[in-house]
Amino acid sequence: MRSGEACQLRCEDVVSLHGVPVLRIHDLYGSLKNRASVRDIPVHPACMAICDLAHAVAADRAPEPWLFPSLPVKRLGRGRWFQDYGSRFLRKKVGIADPRYTMHSFRHLWRTLARECEMPESVSRSIMGHTLGGGEHGAYGSAPSLKRRAEWLAKIDPLQD
């Protein structure tokens, strides 16, 4: 997901739909890039601790709705702060000096990994928050089922280099 979408997540946005743990991306608490950005993203098996985090934060800090409560609310927004922090992290901690690589680069990497496991484009687009395609073909039907998206998402190794 986009960093701004992640920063807008509330504990209540981590749910299970049809037996699939998902992150619900919506525009109730902030803006999104476009209409296709409103979606449910299955939680990758390697990231299931996010579900535990949501429950722990909700139980520990009942009045605190944010999934990531430590992100500061700045004038330019939580997402912008996260982007800046992520860029500093990549430069100083990871040692990536090339300014072309940012937190957004992880979206590009994810799309490359999706292509390499031959994920159908409709599945990839629905996970990334892109439109399902142009023309009449893309205008008919809806996104692939959550179960199918989760199956394909699990094929991506998050530690692959």
For the chain, give every domain's residue range: 3-153
pTM above 0.85, yes or no: no
What pLDDT tens digit does each residue of the chain (161 aa) get? 888 888 888 888 988 899 999 999 998 877 787 788 889 999 999 888 887 777 766 666 556 688 887 777 767 678 888 888 888 888 999 999 998 888 888 889 889 999 999 999 999 999 998 887 665 555 566 788 999 999 999 999 877 65
Q: Token match 């100083």: residue?
A: 92
Q: What is the pLDDT of residue 58?
A: 66
Between CA 79 and CA 40 the distance in angstroms is: 19
Q: What is the pLDDT of residue 22?
A: 92
Q: Token match 């934060």: residue?
A: 57
Between CA 43 and CA 77 the distance in angstroms is: 25
Contacts of 24 (CB under 8 A, 6+ apart): 13, 14, 15, 40
DSSP at 94: I
